[in-house]
Structure 1
């Protein structure tokens, strides 16, 4: 008997998680992959593609999938972050300005009039840069 530990909308997401678990020696299986591949509109109705593991591995698998390795990847890739205009901190993240307004206008008019612009937000002071990121 297998225990479902995660649900995914697309099979490739489940296979990435399965590969991560198997690289750590945890047996993992992807369920409902073929059904979703044949009729992807049923994905949400069926609960998506399921990632399953044997019961003795559930806690270890959940802990492994819950790890956030984004900082390690950024260090390895040498990502250069933009400095905050207000406080000068380099602790910034990508942010889309105007996204909420663009969505609301699209809902009302069925036409995208407001463009969303990519910029950066400071994690330290919360300041959002006014100019678009390059």
Structure 2
């Protein structure tokens, strides 16, 4: 019966998973311990001693030679290699094409009011029920001059 040994210890669970998958793709049976515990709570990393990669003792020399091979190239698909790096502008739906009547700025959004946020009805109900007001007004707010309209 073959003995299972700790091959290496990693303090980064992602790196450990990459090494494990590289060895599995090469035909070496291996597994990780404490990977999920450290991924959930990284503060346990030092206490547990990191993520340990286990494999059979007979495969240690082969695993070292596989991991020392730096000429491994992973072919990328053509569409990934020819990816256009121009940024895509995502429209901000909270911003509108409104113009501030006070300063003329286009940096205007339809957001929760900062002044006179609550109506009379909301205030009365909130006082009677002793809760925080449940409905607030929304207005156009200029982020340049802080004017609300």
TM-score, scaled relative to structure 2: 0.44
Q: Which has the larger radius of gyration?
A: 2
TM-score, scaled relative to structure 1: 0.48
More helix by share: 1
